[in-house]
Amino acid sequence: MSSEIATSIPREDEREGTVRRPWRALAVQLLGPLTILGGLVWAVAQPYRIVLLDRAGQGIYDYLFQAPLLVVLVGLAFTVLIAPGLVEDLEVEEQRDPTA
């Protein structure tokens, strides 16, 4: 049979959508969501820390700096701005050196 027709069967781990996620990439990807989760749990545990829910007698700084929301904001910033590029670079590094 012509080799132009009979090509090799693609390996299982090379198929689209089954990209290997080593623990380091997973750990970096989890840092942000876990931080966001921490902030949300804190907000539920202490709702009086959220000024939007209890507006009486609050000033401008109380609206700007609501501690649980700051935690969520930091987690969100890390998830959106830092983690994707870091995971991308890590995967490039691991493809270049699989023992890394």
Partner 1 sequence: MIPRPETAHWFAAAVSLLIGLLLVSEAIVGTEVFRRRAWRAYLFPSVVVVSSVGLWVITVFSTFSTMHLLAHAVWAQAALVAGAVELAIVRGKLRSPNWSLVPAFALLASGFAFLVHEPNTWLYSRSAFLHHAIGWMLVVVSIFPLLQALRPRQVAWRAGFALTFVLLAVLLFADRDAAPIFGRFGAGGP
Site of interaction with partner 1 (CB under 8 A): 24, 27-28, 31-32, 35, 61-62, 65, 67, 70-71, 73-75, 77-78, 82-83, 85-86, 89-90, 93
Q: Of 53 and 70, which CB lies nearer to partner 1 in the complex structure?
A: 70
Q: Of 18 and 22, which CB lies nearer to partner 1 in the complex structure?
A: 22
Q: Of 37 and 86, which CB lies nearer to partner 1 in the complex structure?
A: 86
How far CA 33 is from CA of 55, 73, 93, in Å, comes to: 28, 11, 24
Distance in Å, CB of 48 to partner 1, minimum: 11
Distance in Å, CB of 20 to partner 1, minimum: 16
